[in-house]
A and B are shown apart, each in its own frame.
Chain A
Amino acid sequence: MPLTFPSRSHLPAVPVRPPPPISPVRLRWLFGVLALLPPGLLNAQEPPQVRLSGYIRSRATGEVVRYAQVRAEGERAGVESNQDGFFVLSLAAGRRVVQIRAIGYEPLTDTLELRESLARDFLLDPQAFTLAEVTVAGRRDTSDIDPLTPEMSTLRMDVATVKLLPVVLGELDPIRSLTLLPGVSSLSDASTGFSVRGGTTDQNLILLDEATIYNPSHVFGFFSVFNGDAIDDIKLYKGAIPARYGGRLSSVLDVRQREGNANQFEGAATVGLLASRLSFEGPLPDQRGSFLVAARRTYADLFLKLSSDPDLNRNVAYFYDLNAKTNVRLGSTGALLLSGYFGRDRFEVAEQFQSSWGNASGTLRWNQALGSRLFSKATLTISDYDYSIGFLGSGLDVNWSSRIGNMDLQVLETWYIRNGSTVEFGGELARHDIRSGTIRPVGDSPVQPRDASPRNGLAPAVHASHQVEISPSLSLQYGLRLAGYWRRGPSTTYRYADDAPVVYNPALGRYERGEVVDSTIRPDGSTFDRFGGLEPRLGVRVGLAPTTSLKLGFSRTRQYLHLISNTNSPTPVDIWEPVGPYLEPQLSDQLALGLTTTTGGGDYELSVETYVKWFRNLTDFIEGADIALNDRLETEMLQGNGRAYGLELYGRKRTGRLTGWVSYTLGRSERRVPGVGANDPGINEGKYYPSPYDKTHDLTLVGLYPLSSTWTFGGTFLLTSGLPVTYPISRYVYDGIVVAEYGPRNGNRLPMYHRLDLSFTRQGERTQWQFGLFNAYNRFNAQSISFQPSEDDPLRIDATQIAIFGIVPSVSFSFKF
């Protein structure tokens, strides 16, 4: 739950009061001290404090409104509704005026007679999306950087704005949209892998309604699994990760599905160039709640089937997603939510290759407000990612499959002490099940069935954190997480000569697998290895001016699951490996310092943030690593250190006809793998070398401009440095085939990348047309470079740059019913 303070820029100007007799500084200090004292200690003649609590909902659909600002007129501070739309406001009893504001909704003012604590819901009217007027506040926008909360290094995306931005092939991709913001960089046009502040792609925890999604991509990475019709809120923590999250080093991407319209049935359909979507939602009988079902499928394969060419019509290529969510209210203070996701990709080339992979996730959550002091939440999630690849036609036809799954139980309690002080605590227990390789014959192939040893683990964690406003210009958010990982059987572990699974052969200049001296069979249910540690988290906010703050953040995180991949971009066949006897947990410490300010009454937001990250136990591979069905992956891997540092600049214009933002990140990310023994210099001679995600400059400009009352123009421009590549130094020929010999790892760069995307959206009453142009000036953006024998002269090597997308137009049509 993001514990935040209200952004005063949303609120109307308060009448200026005459200057107080005591100097404002002394007065603030006095209030600060008084605020720390328990209420009621002071003047017994003050009106009693009561609590107003409940859910903020949309009047149109009944869905909860997250992060709405709730304030009582005359009170200094207000509160914010949490991720489930629940808020608790302490205020003096009597006739009080309550003001509620939320992005995308009309402000609500309500007068209440409060004699005692009251629990009730508040309904907000969605703001009419009028483009012709210049409105001061309330457009649905992205990334709320609030100078008044200690929360920092956080990005928020609103799906409604994302839908107006240009997209590739007409498919909305929230992950790609996040890369338009500072600190988040994409790896390639062909991948949904993203790097946050120099971290690797597996260091991002991707949650859909709190269930882990292991591979958020379709079609090898061209599209993400998030269906724009089904999701609501996207929040990315780049640093200062709250104590309730753990398990990944660099970021947490928290995506929530929508709950569905609780008042009436409605649906939407979108037809695009590549895929179509259909969603349907409505209330449950007896006003009990709501449901939402959304589906998406590509139909590129239908074109293949229509072809009369047998080369084409026997191939299969499609993906589909299914999202569902239902929300049942329990009384007026609780809710039960059930949500799920199921998606599948299939790709087959007749008689040659078949592949299929997909994610499945389910969440069951119960939340309950207990009085006006405690908000309680219990969540059970299940995640599963599996893939299967088949190779046919060689005589050794084989199918290879793998799966990772987990079941996770989390309990989270939020205790509202008073308006400026909230405590959150809870625990989590997850069970991981990894079957990292299963081989089966296809047809009458002589291949024998084989299974890799399962990797099982239990990940327990407890955490507690406190957010407190010490004074109007000083607030603090501190927390501690204690998390661990227990490796459990059934499994087989190995021991190596000299305790070295990888050894270096100095004569041949290569790493070799260590010699196995014995092995131990670990029975089912036994715990054979334990890891754990404390992860402190801290955020401090110092107010420098009414809408300007200095923020400082520190967080330590550990990661117990490593993504084993020795390719440049993540592929669907990458394997997850948990920590074990020879694989230490990854560790990261991050320190961030930032300045945020809003000016012009909220019209402009500016943020400058700098960060430093230290990494330990990052994994890298020896040359020629054999990772398929390998029960002894420790013989293929080396662990090393890393560091990343950078500066993020962000400016946003939120009002007026032209809105948008500018984001610039200057960063460096490097790693170092020292040698394993004597005479081993390590990778790149043990010196720091650029990590594969090192992008020096990353500039993005985004603009949205309403052309008329129905047409909106959207444009994005990106200019980034190229990613590192390893260049050759010479060529040679072996057995009739030419090959390159390479120089220092990641010692060179791809050329600069720049691209302009345009979109035109026509919004009607029930329909929407969107026309897009991706890579509008058709720039050749090299995403990789390869060194392969030339087509013309087999003994010459061609250095070939590959660009994924040229200019790509797209059209999509949606309608609501």
Chain B
Amino acid sequence: MANVLSHSLRVPLTLLAALSTGCTRIVDLDLDTPPRQLVVEARLEAGVLAQQIRLTTTDAFSGTGAPPPAAGASVLVTDDLGTELPFAEDEAGVYRVGTAAITPGRTYTLSIVWEGEEYRAISPLVDGPAIDSLYFKFRSATLAVGDSGFRAVLDYTDPAGIKNYYFWEMFVDGERVVTTDPGNQWRVISRDRFYDGQRVAGYLPFDEKVVEPRQVVRMRQLAITEEAYQYLFAFYDQATGGGSPFSTPPASVRGNVANLTRPEHRALGFFLTADVRSRSLIVPDP
């Protein structure tokens, strides 16, 4: 819960910085580059035909731009019924399959062979509810949230009696909204621990993104596993957690991809399987 503080502490720290003339300074760290590690961005979505897995590697800390691709790997997905789904490398590091019948209730195993080492991840695919409705709400600017404007909100009903974990994605005019705000771990993902079986109205996952009239907004609601929720929570906490003295200490985010050949040469990233429901709406004129 203390990491919540770092999200909300942007405000007092700004206030106090104004009061106390404290500041920040970007420094250059002269670091050696360690051996490359495989980074797995693998997602299997039910309700979607084409599936894509992106493999990259780690880069020097001071690197910029897109990360180096991990090309030449062999990627295979099998389900618990034995059905195999081979992925073909389309462009460097991007592995695709055109049509796949991914269904909730199955458990999927991802096998990768890259640079002579074998990696494996296992993830069940769970069912999730639909978005009841998608609409827009006007919010005026506050100290914590930047601009005034319309924001996309949604209603959904959590199924009672089962543990549900949610992950939202928003596309505006076809472009994915990627936010690096502290607080992602509280907004972009959610678990029903405190609202099991309830109807959630006016949920605002992307509070920083203002949408303009006539833009096409597409909201995707992914039902993920508990393991995926914990991974994304830790990931957002580390990546965009805010870095104040009140944040959690730096730590490596451990995913679910194991290196079977050399366990100490760990793979990063996550193999995520999800049921996806989506809704689209055009932002009305005021």
**Stretch from A137-145, A200-208, A639-647, A800-808 at the B interface:** A800-808
- In the complex, A317 has a CB within 8 A of chain B: yes
Question: A204: shortest Cβ distance to chain B, in Å?
Answer: 19
Query: Which residue of B58, B195, B264 is within 8 Å of A731 (Cβ)?
Result: B58
In the complex with contacts A300-B19, A801-B25, A394-B143 CB distance below 8 A: no
User: Which residues from 775 to 817 on chain A have a C-beta closer than 8 Å to any C-beta of chain B?
Assistant: 778, 780, 782-789, 793-808
A730 vs B29: C-alpha distance when bound (angstroms): 11
A220 vs B59: C-alpha distance when bound (angstroms): 37
Contact A573 B1 (CB under 8 A): yes
Contact B1 A739 (CB under 8 A): no
- In the complex, B233 has a CB within 8 A of chain A: yes
- In the complex, A567 has a CB within 8 A of chain B: yes
Contact B29 A799 (CB under 8 A): yes
Contact B246 A785 (CB under 8 A): no
Q: Which residues of A contact B56 (CB under 8 A)?
A: 732-733
Contact B9 A311 (CB under 8 A): no
Query: Which residue of A395, A447, A567 is within 8 Å of B204 (Cβ)?
Result: A395
Question: A222: shortest Cβ distance to chain B, in Å?
Answer: 7
- In the complex, B81 has a CB within 8 A of chain A: no
- In the complex, A50 has a CB within 8 A of chain B: no
Contact B246 A794 (CB under 8 A): no
- In the complex, A111 has a CB within 8 A of chain B: no
A188 vs B244: C-alpha distance when bound (angstroms): 12
- In the complex, A726 has a CB within 8 A of chain B: yes
Closest to A508 in B: B258
Query: Which residue of B4, B141, B203 is within 8 Å of A311 (Cβ)?
Result: B141
In the complex with contacts A734-B269, A797-B61, A803-B144 CB distance below 8 A: no
Contact A349 B144 (CB under 8 A): yes
- In the complex, A306 has a CB within 8 A of chain B: no
Contact B258 A742 (CB under 8 A): no
Q: Which residues of A contact B97 (CB under 8 A)?
A: none
Q: Which residues of A contact B236 (CB under 8 A)?
A: 737
Question: B284: shortest Cβ distance to chain A, in Å?
Answer: 20
Q: Which residues of A contact B187 (CB under 8 A)?
A: 394
A727 vs B201: C-alpha distance when bound (angstroms): 42
- In the complex, B133 has a CB within 8 A of chain A: no
- In the complex, A450 has a CB within 8 A of chain B: yes
In the complex with contacts A349-B144, A396-B190, A802-B243 CB distance below 8 A: yes
User: Which residues from 497 to 540 on chain A have a C-beta closer than 8 Å to any C-beta of chain B?
Assistant: 506-510
Q: Which residues of B contact A314 (CB under 8 A)?
A: 142
Contact A802 B250 (CB under 8 A): no
Contact B245 A510 (CB under 8 A): no
Closest to B257 in A: A508
Closest to B66 in A: A795
A796 vs B236: C-alpha distance when bound (angstroms): 16
Contact A806 B20 (CB under 8 A): yes
Question: B227: shortest Cβ distance to chain A, in Å?
Answer: 10
Contact B143 A312 (CB under 8 A): yes
Contact A450 B2 (CB under 8 A): no
Question: B71: shortest Cβ distance to chain A, in Å?
Answer: 16
- In the complex, A404 has a CB within 8 A of chain B: no
Contact A739 B235 (CB under 8 A): yes
Contact A736 B249 (CB under 8 A): no
What band does the interface of chain B fall in when counting residues whose beta carbon is under 8 Å from A? Answer: 35 or more
Question: B51: shortest Cβ distance to chain A, in Å?
Answer: 15
A795 vs B65: C-alpha distance when bound (angstroms): 6
Contact A732 B37 (CB under 8 A): yes
Q: Which residues of B contact A507 (CB under 8 A)?
A: 258, 260, 263
Query: Which residue of B12, B62, B199, B266 is within 8 Å of A317 (Cβ)?
Result: B12
Question: B254: shortest Cβ distance to chain A, in Å?
Answer: 4
Which of A450, A731, A778, A780 has the most chain B CB within a 10 Å cutoff? A731
Contact A317 B15 (CB under 8 A): yes
- In the complex, A77 has a CB within 8 A of chain B: no
A625 vs B171: C-alpha distance when bound (angstroms): 32
Contact B255 A566 (CB under 8 A): no
Contact A624 B204 (CB under 8 A): no
A787 vs B237: C-alpha distance when bound (angstroms): 11
- In the complex, A393 has a CB within 8 A of chain B: yes
A439 vs B263: C-alpha distance when bound (angstroms): 41
Contact A802 B246 (CB under 8 A): no
Contact A220 B12 (CB under 8 A): yes
Query: Which residue of B16, B260, B268 is within 8 Å of A732 (Cβ)?
Result: B268
- In the complex, B27 has a CB within 8 A of chain A: yes
Contact A311 B245 (CB under 8 A): no
- In the complex, B112 has a CB within 8 A of chain A: no
Which of B12, B57, B207 has the most chain A CB within a 10 Å cutoff? B12
**Stretch from A120-128, A350-358, A703-711 at the B interface:** A350-358
Closest to A312 in B: B143
- In the complex, A547 has a CB within 8 A of chain B: no
Closest to A746 in B: B249
Q: Which residues of A contact B65 (CB under 8 A)?
A: 793, 795-796
Contact A567 B4 (CB under 8 A): no
Contact B242 A736 (CB under 8 A): no
In the complex with contacts A353-B144, A734-B235, A734-B269, A509-B5 CB distance below 8 A: no
- In the complex, A240 has a CB within 8 A of chain B: no
Q: Which residues of A contact B62 (CB under 8 A)?
A: 796
- In the complex, A729 has a CB within 8 A of chain B: yes
- In the complex, B99 has a CB within 8 A of chain A: no
Contact A800 B186 (CB under 8 A): no
B242-282 CB contact bits vs A (8 Å, 1 = yes)? 11111111111111111010011010111000000000000
Contact B26 A394 (CB under 8 A): no
Q: Which residues of A contact B8 (CB under 8 A)?
A: 349, 352-353, 355, 391
A606-633 CB contact bits vs B (8 Å, 1 = yes)? 0000000000000000011011100000
A274 vs B238: C-alpha distance when bound (angstroms): 34
Closest to B39 in A: A732
- In the complex, A599 has a CB within 8 A of chain B: no
Closest to A444 in B: B201
Q: Which residues of A contact B141 (CB under 8 A)?
A: 311
Query: Which residue of B178, B194, B242, B252 is within 8 Å of A447 (Cβ)?
Result: B194
Q: Which residues of B contact A450 (CB under 8 A)?
A: 194
A475 vs B139: C-alpha distance when bound (angstroms): 73
Query: Which residue of B6, B63, B198, B247 is within 8 Å of A796 (Cβ)?
Result: B63
B173-207 CB contact bits vs A (8 Å, 1 = yes)? 00010101000001100100011101111111001
Q: Which residues of B contact A395 (CB under 8 A)?
A: 153, 200-204
A547-574 CB contact bits vs B (8 Å, 1 = yes)? 0000000000000000001111101111
In the complex with contacts A352-B145, A394-B204, A802-B24, A448-B196 CB distance below 8 A: yes
23 pairs across A/B with beta carbons < 8 Å? A312-B143, A315-B11, A349-B144, A446-B200, A623-B252, A692-B249, A728-B250, A729-B31, A730-B59, A730-B61, A734-B41, A737-B180, A741-B58, A778-B21, A782-B25, A783-B245, A788-B180, A793-B65, A799-B61, A800-B25, A802-B243, A803-B22, A804-B22
Closest 9 CB pairs of A and B: A786-B243, A806-B21, A446-B198, A395-B203, A739-B239, A510-B254, A624-B234, A507-B258, A730-B58
Please give 18 more A-B residue pairs, beta carbons under 8 A apart, in addition to A188-B245, A737-B178, A806-B23. A220-B5, A349-B143, A352-B145, A389-B1, A396-B194, A507-B260, A567-B246, A623-B234, A726-B250, A731-B59, A733-B56, A739-B235, A784-B244, A788-B240, A795-B65, A800-B27, A802-B245, A805-B21
